[in-house]
Amino acid sequence: MKRHRLRLMLRDASIGAAFASMAVSGQIAIWAVGLFLLALVLALLGRRPFARSPRLTALLLVPLGGALYLSVAAGQMDLVVAACSFAAFVAGQRMLSLPGPGTDGQVLLAGLLMIAGGAALSGELLFAVFLVGFAVLASLALGMTVVEAAVPEGEQLPVRAVVRPLAMGLVFAVAGAVAFFIFFPRLNWNMGARRASPGLGTATSGFSDTVRLGGTGTLKSNPRVVLRARLSPDPGNEHLGAYWVGRTYDTFDGQEWTTIGNPSGRRGTRVTLRPGAESLVHQRIELLPAYGSRTLIALETPARLGNAVAHTPAGSRRTSLQELGGDELRFMVQALGYTYEVYSVPPGTNTVPGKLQPLERDQLLALPDALDPRVEQLARRVAGNEKEPLAAANKLVSFLQREYAYTLELGGEMEDPVANFLFERREGHCEHFATALTLMLRSLGFQARLATGFFGGERVADEYIVRAGDAHAWTHVLVPGTGFVTVDATPPAFRTSQSQPWLESLVTLYEAIEARWRTSVVDYTFRDQLNFVRGMVRPPKQRGAEEQRTRLPPARAWAMALVVGAVVYAAWSFLSRRGARTPVHQATRFVDAVERQLARAGIRPLEGETLEDVSARLAREAHPLAPTLAPLTRRYLEARFGQRPLLSGESARLLQELERGLAAWKSSQPPIARAS
């Protein structure tokens, strides 16, 4: 077992990576994960409790398979997840059985099935990491299998000598796999892969029917990405600085915000919220599992939304939308993630809402019954006799940003959080600033409401990402003839995520790599293959007079020509050497001479036996020639695998020693045995 320990550890570690490629989707049952991890730990420790009775222990798979079947029948588990889990159980049972060529093949085959299952369940970036891990470890395990077969039992494996050849072989294998993936005609992975998985953590943001003041703003320090968006026309900015609205609130009771009235409940696959404009901003948005809500998000001010698709563990399907109060739209299907399209009117466009109902109009001016009278006094002192709502709002915004501090370190519940913010603590987070501004505007007779969503947008590749920490609250003031206009009292430096910069950088790097993985692998199609080949052979259009004068091929064309030339040269070299005599390796000539001497002495290999096998067989039979043949076999292997080449004259000396040993053995044999 010590001889096979390295190979078995590589094999079992590769199976662990294969299982992790499935488990990272978060869809494997906890009890299944626990059973497999137990088997993996035992295998890595060299414990094989099923080695004595592999067939009997294989019966353990029957109740496990039955449990999976019942889970599927009861609707508690998806069929693909059940199949992936059963493949893991098969791999675990085989890992704990007696090692051997057949067992190794079954274990690695189960690993391939788990890799296929991981691709179907998620296909995300973490899956790619474990896919590479499985490929590397499994290839090294197979390489060690070949090395072990070439070294006789009892001999030390030349691990250091074969590491470099194995590594080179692995590099060529990976390069070949990449080339095959790029150039072999294929379909989009998304036709078979599932786009959504819970990931490694629970949802971190989302929307509720109320906004309650008080408590710490822990969400602002969360760097997880909850939204990806592709904009057209693309502004091209590194930081977007835009408001992503989810819903609005018009009723405040002194502690929390709600929306008055019953939701309309209207449904449809395309919902028009308000008239659009000639120039709209198109967004293709993907809400990630970290978002954790069914409320749609869009750039202010959304005009049309639709083409919604829900991504669930069982697959992706279209979903209708439901229009609720507070301009909120919800997906009708509960899912892990969503994609949809939005058209928003650009800032500054006239977005006068439809005729407001009297109750809605009155609610935009409603104040809590127990509102501290100092709030109105402060508002009138700051705004003066301003009659225009936007001008008054801007004065209040400047005052709040100048006189009040931003903080996430707040106490628990307070009897009057607004008064505490304005007149006592004089610091708070975005909900305090937005609530204070909204109430101060209403106290002056201006219609206003609270809006919630996200602020910001960080560019990664050709998309914009929004983090959980970008969650934000601001104010809408109703301007006659224009509509609702965004005013934000929160200091600009504190509107986006307040997480640690190094943590944000790590998450951004992860998102950039994942975006590349998605575009280059998951979403890679036959059209992308054609574009890749076309880009390698066709130079881009020349720009500028200087480039027109040079007319030199681009660097990619030179690189492609170099690759083609290398391939042609390699093919020509191979064909030209086919007729030539291949030089015989020094170790090969040596082993041929040894086998000829053994054959003349009547010691012939059995069918399929090599010199190593003959030496091992003679050692098991305690043959008198075993001590003589063992060092010759060892020197052959050292010379053959490059560990220590044969020195000048060493081959002849070793053959003479073998000849003397054979002569001594023959002379010691009885006449009958010698004759036979």
Asked whether the predicted pLDDT for residue 230 surpasses 50, the reply is yes
d(CA 437, CA 473): 11
DSSP class of 295:
B
pLDDT (tens digit per residue) in 511-537 = 777 767 776 776 677 677 677 667 666
Q: What pLDDT is attached to residue 589?
A: 83
pLDDT (tens digit per residue) in 181-197 = 777 766 554 544 444 55
The DSSP line for 96-137 is: TS--SHHHHHHHHHHHHHHHHHHHHHT--HHHHHHHHHHHHH
Structure tokens of 549?
A: 């004068």
Asked whether the predicted pLDDT for residue 482 surpasses 50, the reply is yes
Structure tokens of 555?
A: 């660097």
pLDDT (tens digit per residue) in 386-422 = 999 999 999 999 999 999 999 887 766 788 899 999 9
Q: What pLDDT is attached to residue 206?
A: 62
Segments making up each domain of the chain, as ranges: 5-150, 211-513, 551-580, 586-675
Q: How far is CA 42 from CA 60, 85, 592, in A?
A: 17, 19, 44
- What confidence category does residue 383 fall into, taking pLDDT thresholds of 50, 70 and 90? very high
- What confidence category does residue 676 fall into, taking pLDDT thresholds of 50, 70 and 90? very low
Q: Measuring CA to CA, which residue among 291, 449, 439 is closest to residue 361?
A: 449
* 524, amino acid identity: Y
Q: What is the CA radius of gyration of the chain?
A: 36
d(CA 270, CA 53): 62
* 143, amino acid identity: G
- Better-predicted residue by pLDDT, 660 or 352: 660
Q: What pLDDT is attached to residue 613?
A: 86
pLDDT (tens digit per residue) in 145-166 = 888 777 776 677 777 777 788 8
Burial (0-12, 13-18, 19+ Cβ within 10 Å), 155: middle
Q: What pLDDT is attached to residue 380?
A: 94
pLDDT (tens digit per residue) in 217-227 = 567 778 888 89
- What confidence category does residue 643 fall into, taking pLDDT thresholds of 50, 70 and 90? low
| 3-state SS track over 641-652 | CCCCCCCCCHHH
Strand partners, 339: 286, 309
Pairing verdict, β 405-406 and 427-428 = parallel
- Of the candidate ranges 73-77, 92-96, 373-377, 592-596, the one whose mean pLDDT is the lowest: 73-77
Taking a C-beta distance cutoff of 8 angstroms, is the pair 295, 247 a contact? yes
Q: What pLDDT is attached to residue 314?
A: 67
pLDDT (tens digit per residue) in 117-143 = 888 787 777 888 899 999 999 998 888
The contacts of residue 643 (CB under 8 Å, 6+ apart) are 158, 160, 161, 637
The CATH T-level fold of domain 211-513 is: C8orf32 fold (3.10.620)
Asked whether the predicted pLDDT for residue 199 surpasses 60, the reply is no
Q: Which helix (H) or strand (E) holds 457?
A: strand 448-460
Q: What pLDDT is attached to residue 349?
A: 72
Asked whether the predicted pLDDT for residue 594 surpasses 90, the reply is no
Percent of the chain with pLDDT over 70: 80
Q: What pLDDT is attached to residue 251?
A: 92
Q: Which helix (H) or strand (E) holds 444?
A: none
Q: Measuring CA to CA, which residue among 399, 441, 442 is closest to residue 422?
A: 399
Taking a C-beta distance cutoff of 8 angstroms, is the pair 281, 231 a contact? yes
- What confidence category does residue 673 fall into, taking pLDDT thresholds of 50, 70 and 90? very low
Tally Cβ neighbours within 10 Å of residue 6: 16
Q: What residue has token string 């299952």?
A: 117
pTM for the model: 0.63
What average pLDDT does range 565-586 have in this prediction? 62
- What confidence category does residue 424 fall into, taking pLDDT thresholds of 50, 70 and 90? very high
Q: Measuring CA to CA, which residue among 626, 630, 625, 643 is closest to residue 587?
A: 643
Percent of the chain with pLDDT over 90: 28
Most confident of 75-89, 245-259, 262-276, 565-579: 245-259
Asked whether the predicted pLDDT for residue 550 surpasses 60, the reply is no
Q: What pLDDT is attached to residue 278?
A: 61
* 288, amino acid identity: L
Q: Measuring CA to CA, which residue among 180, 171, 36, 159 is closest to residue 95?
A: 36
Asked whether the predicted pLDDT for residue 369 surpasses 70, the reply is yes
The contacts of residue 430 (CB under 8 Å, 6+ apart) are 217, 472, 473, 474, 490, 494, 495
Structure tokens of 193?
A: 């892969």
- What confidence category does residue 263 fall into, taking pLDDT thresholds of 50, 70 and 90? low
Q: What pLDDT is attached to residue 269?
A: 46
Q: What pLDDT is attached to residue 606?
A: 84
What average pLDDT does range 95-104 have in this prediction? 87
Q: Angle CA(247)–CA(250)–CA(252) in degrees, nearest 5?
A: 120
DSSP class of 86:
H
Q: Measuring CA to CA, which residue among 297, 288, 286 is closest to residue 224?
A: 288
- Of the candidate ranges 198-202, 315-319, 637-641, the one whose mean pLDDT is the lowest: 198-202
Q: What pLDDT is attached to residue 38?
A: 94
Quote the mean pLDDT of the chain: 81
Q: What pLDDT is attached to residue 217?
A: 58
- Better-predicted residue by pLDDT, 427 or 651: 427
Q: Measuring CA to CA, which residue among 662, 509, 530, 522 is closest to residue 598?
A: 662
